[in-house]
Amino acid sequence: MLNSAGPNIIRYSYDQSVNIPIELYESLNGNYFMGYGDNLSLGNGTSAWARLYNPPNSGVNLYVNVWTVTDISDSPFRAQFWFNATPPKGSFESVPVTPSNTAIRPVPHPRVQLQVASNVSGEPTGGVKAFVRRGESGTTVVDTENGKLIFPPGGSFLVFLSVTEDVSAAAGRIAFGWWEEKISCFAFYTQKN
């Protein structure tokens, strides 16, 4: 209706919507985690690795969002990215990780484990070598996957580092950002059938 006593004002009604990145959404819900393996030693014929391992009884799917390989010293390097492979035998450890949302109480804990190993011999077995990246000494190789790499319980995302020249010692760091999503009973049932 127009008001004859004042200016003609037409008001429209709009629906509002807000789009937020999936990483923020998962963080707000306490499902996004970050961690890194530091001081990974390799060289002199040995390699190093870090992996996100989703234990068979986790009850979640793992969504890899981002990975980085950095601070490789003394030599150009090669990073192999393996899906669901078994790393070379040797000692490894699980390293602490943090939720990206530390405002939630109690603080969320991941079901996925970040495992690392240094100075290992041999190559990963089984699984699939999905892709390879190369880098120069002192550079960072990084990629954002936006959750498109998905691993069910029992699966893993492995980054396997080696140097491409004969050096006695090198060191580096591998970092990950990921989120976890609970598997519904229906989704679990359909995956098995």
The CATH number that applies at residue 100 is 2.60.120
Tokens 């699966």 correspond to what residue?
Answer: 155
Bridge partners, 70 (sequence order): 173
The reply to whether 42 falls in a domain is yes
**Distance (Å, rounded) from C-alpha 117 to C-alpha 133?**
19
Number of domains in the chain: 1
**Distance (Å, rounded) from C-alpha 120 to C-alpha 111?**
26
Q: Regarding beta strands 128-135 and 77-83, do their DSSP bridges make them parallel or antiparallel, or are they unpaired?
A: antiparallel
The reply to whether 17 falls in a domain is no
Band (pLDDT 50/70/90 cuts) for residue 161 is very high
The reply to whether 139 falls in a domain is yes
Band (pLDDT 50/70/90 cuts) for residue 124 is very high
Tell me the pLDDT tens digit for each residue of 88-120: 987 788 999 999 999 999 999 999 999 999 999
Residues 6+ positions from 172 with CB-CB distance below 8 Å: 40, 42, 48, 69, 70, 71, 72, 73, 77, 161
The reply to whether 16 falls in a domain is no
Residue 165 has pLDDT above 70, yes or no: yes
**Distance (Å, rounded) from C-alpha 60 to C-alpha 36?**
21
Are 37 and 159 a contacting pair, CB within 8 Å?
Answer: no
Tokens 């240094």 correspond to what residue?
Answer: 118
Domain that holds residue 184: 22-192
Q: Compute how many other C-beta atoms are within 10 angstroms of the C-beta atom of residue 106.
A: 6
12-26, 88-102, 179-193, range with the lowest pLDDT: 179-193
The reply to whether 98 falls in a domain is yes
Residue 154 has pLDDT above 80, yes or no: yes
pTM of the model: 0.85
Band (pLDDT 50/70/90 cuts) for residue 185 is low
Are 172 and 67 a contacting pair, CB within 8 Å?
Answer: no
